Amino acid sequence: MGVKAADDSPPESDRFAPAPHPRDTFELFGHEQAEADFLDAYRAGRMPQAWIIGGPPGIGKATLAWRVALFIAAHPDPASPAVQQAKNLAVDPNHPAARKLSALSFGDLALLRRQWSEKTKKHATRITVDDVRNAIHLFEQAAGEGGWRMAIIDRADDLNLNSANALLKLIEEPPPRCLFLLIAHRPGRLLPTIRSRCRTLMLQSLAPPALDAAVREALDASGQKAAEPALAKACARAEGSVHEALRLLAADESAVDDLMEQVLGDLPHVKWRIAHRIADSVSGRGGETEFEAFLRAIFDWLGASLRRNPGLGPRALAPYAEAWEFLERETRDLEIYNLDKRAFVIIVFSRLAEAERAARAALA
């Protein structure tokens, strides 16, 4: 059963506004080699049945996945002249397959993502086993479009144990001419049995020229403009992520970013007054974007702490690594059990302060 667009167009968990949805993005910046890897495997008749497309958020993983799906939908025969002569995976946006994919009416594509609930007005925190089972029906039938049956999982990080195992069974013994594209921010967190059955392709953060071009493309597509100084500043701080650059452009002077800099820059002392302002911001109504900014700043700080001095011994680095593991574990629990974000923020700052004190003590 292919995916279809809902008439009332609920919010999509795999789209980051104001950028267009990846299925409506027809330019890919900075990942020419990854694109070539797909194209070479396809036209050589050696296409793995499952790929993991990994890398940091906002760098083009989903755009690449949809680009692959569109190319195969438009050119189902890898031996055709169009495929053999192709220089990349570009397809004319006016191609019938492009229009069907854009409308989510292409019958041979299943899209697995967190679903929107009209009751709670929120997205589910996980891709459920029922979501996977619904997609399995597509692979039990002949290809309605006469080509390949495909599934895009965005993101595989959002699978729970039951849904991951259900997907594993499908990947283990797929029917002919099937393709699974698993998008993951952290592929290492996926089931080892899933990873072993997929080819993993890791994308890198976008280099400055590619990031600038991608951000401009996203702004143009949404009809928005940005002053050149603000655009340059956002790109410089975004660490290669289009999503982060767009978020920074949309942030105002009271955004979480500046507050996070003040708190993290003063550790192990915690400026609790500012920490509580951050907690209020991320836990309030509509605070999802601020919470993402909070998490990104924390992981960036921990990453920078681990990289700050390669010569540090394991005793000095261990507190940061342990804090990283703690944050990943607690973030998962927060999403699964819908815990209090305000309390979570306060606990995280306390844990970071402990890590900084322990690292300094190890160096004393």
Q: What is the DSSP string of 323-364?
A: HHHHHHHHHHHHHHHT--HHHHHHHHHHHHHHHHHHHHHHH-
Say yes or no: 41 and 80 in one domain: yes
CATH of the domain at 134: 3.40.50.300
Closest by Cα among 134, 132, 185 to 156: 185
Mean pLDDT of each 10-residue bin along the chain, 364 residues long: 53 88 95 96 95 94 97 96 96 96 95 91 89 90 87 94 94 92 93 95 95 93 87 90 88 72 94 93 79 88 80 81 90 81 95 93 83
Say yes or no: 45 and 132 in one domain: yes
Contact 264, 297 (CB under 8 A): yes
User: What range does the domain containing 227 cover?
Assistant: 207-250
Q: What is the pTM assigned to this prediction?
A: 0.81
Say yes or no: 181 and 227 in one domain: no
Domain boundary among 250, 280, 315: 250
Residue 172 CA: distances (Å) to CA of 49, 79, 141, 205: 9, 26, 17, 31
Say yes or no: 58 and 171 in one domain: yes
Phi then psi for residue 301, to 5 deg, are -65, -45
pLDDT for 4 equals 44
pLDDT for 310 equals 59
Tell whether 155 is covered by a domain. Answer: yes
Tell whether 231 is covered by a domain. Answer: yes
Question: How many helices (H) and strands (E) are present in the chain, helices listed first?
Answer: 15, 7
Residue 212 CA: distances (Å) to CA of 30, 59, 107, 250, 363: 11, 12, 35, 16, 40
pLDDT for 309 equals 62
Say yes or no: 190 and 282 in one domain: no
d(CA 166, CA 75): 29
Cβ-based burial of 329 (10 A; exposed 0-12, middle 13-18, buried ≥19): exposed
Say yes or no: 197 and 228 in one domain: no
Say yes or no: 61 and 86 in one domain: yes
Say yes or no: 218 and 296 in one domain: no
Say yes or no: 232 and 314 in one domain: no
Percent of the chain that is helix, strand, coil (3-state, to 5): 55, 10, 40
Amino acid at 306: L
Amino acid at 205: S
pLDDT for 343 equals 94
Q: Return the SS3 of 89.
A: coil
Q: How many domains in the chain?
A: 3
